[in-house]
Amino acid sequence: MIRRRPLLLAALAAPALAPSLAWAQEIGSTARPLRIGVTAGPHAQVLEKVREVAARDGLALRITEFQDYIQPNAALAAGDLDANSYQHQPFLDQQVKDRNLALVGVGKTLIFPLGVYSRRIKALSELPQGGRVAIPNDPTNGGRALVLLASKGAFGLRPGSDFRATVADITENPRRLRILELEAAQLPRVLPEVDAAAINTNFAVPAGLNPVKDAIALESAESPYANLIVVRRQDQAAPWVRRLVAAYQTQEVKEFVAATFQGSVVPAF
């Protein structure tokens, strides 16, 4: 009996240790941080502030930066991330449809007004005959760019056009402008080579462009394209999701955004 007693005690102790081990591996614990993906630039800057706020609530975040709009959703769907924060609802809807992704938005974050920039002209009215205008090549942001350009008189679009507009919806183009559809992340780099480019704010700011001061055309701050925190559908009711959204949608984060970006990025909560 004496020799078996340690084994018996170990067996009795095992159930008490199991909950502690499970807690240590809970998503958002220091042993298992919540893995969240963002695009580099303002999204990443704001999320660093969110990580600071979340830590005070005992929620640990691990941030991964991406350079494009496709990989953060692919990584989330594959289980390499727990959440991401970089896209608006129309873009998410299109990705879900095109790639059959089981992803959902769970909370609003920021609005990044889309801007048109140029190194050659100071107003869209100065676009030359045959001028080249670059826009994002993804379906939703490309449509946003076309609507913005049309609203400022660069060309005419089919009545009722929205973010789903394509180049085929251009009905009047008196300057015979050439529309170049390029990957969104590449647009700041090609800006010196074109007459104008429509650039998402999260790529414009890291390139040294100030949307408020430098854009020759800019979406309204009341833009409907609010960005989202996105998770897998199976996780949307998880406690850590509510805690993440609560950490993001705080007055402290709102004040950080206002002080850091001076109106070029607008809280959507």
Question: Residue 35's beta-bridge partner residues?
Answer: 62
Ordered domains of the chain (ranges, CATH): 29-113+224-267 (3.40.190.10), 115-218 (3.40.190.10)
pLDDT score of 1? 42
Predicted local confidence at residue 18, as pLDDT: 43
The whole-number average pLDDT for the span 174-191 is 97
In terms of pLDDT, which residue wins out, 106 or 19?
106
In the predicted model, is pLDDT for residue 10 greater than 80? no
Among candidate residues 113, 142, 88, the one with its CA nearest the CA of residue 217: 113
Give the residue-averaged pLDDT of 97-125: 97
pLDDT attached to residue 224: 82
For residue 6, give the amino acid letter: P
pLDDT digits (tens, 9 = 90+) for 127-182: 999 999 999 999 889 999 999 999 999 999 999 999 999 999 999 999 999 999 99
- Asked if residue 16 has pLDDT above 80, the reply is no
What is the predicted pLDDT for the residue at 223? 77
CB atoms within 10 A of CB 217: 20
pLDDT in tens, 204-261: 999 999 999 999 999 987 778 999 999 999 999 999 999 999 999 999 999 999 999 9
16, 29, 135, 186, 239 from 25: Cα distances, Å: 16, 7, 44, 39, 14
Q: What's the mean pLDDT in 183-198? A: 97
Q: What is the per-residue burial (b if ≥16 Cβ within 10 Å, else e) of 181-213?
A: ebbbbbbbeebeebbbbbbbbbbbbbeebbbee
pTM for the structure as a whole:
0.80
Question: Using 50, 70 and 90 to split pLDDT, how confident is the model at 23?
Answer: very low
Secondary structure of residue 60 in the 3-state scheme: coil
CB–CB of 129/175 below 8 Å? yes
Q: What per-residue confidence (pLDDT) applies to 259?
A: 96
Structure confidence by residue, pLDDT tens digits, 40-86: 999 999 999 999 999 999 999 999 999 999 999 999 999 999 999 99
User: Taking 80 as the threshold, does the pLDDT of residue 97 lie above it?
Assistant: yes
Mean pLDDT of 181-194: 97
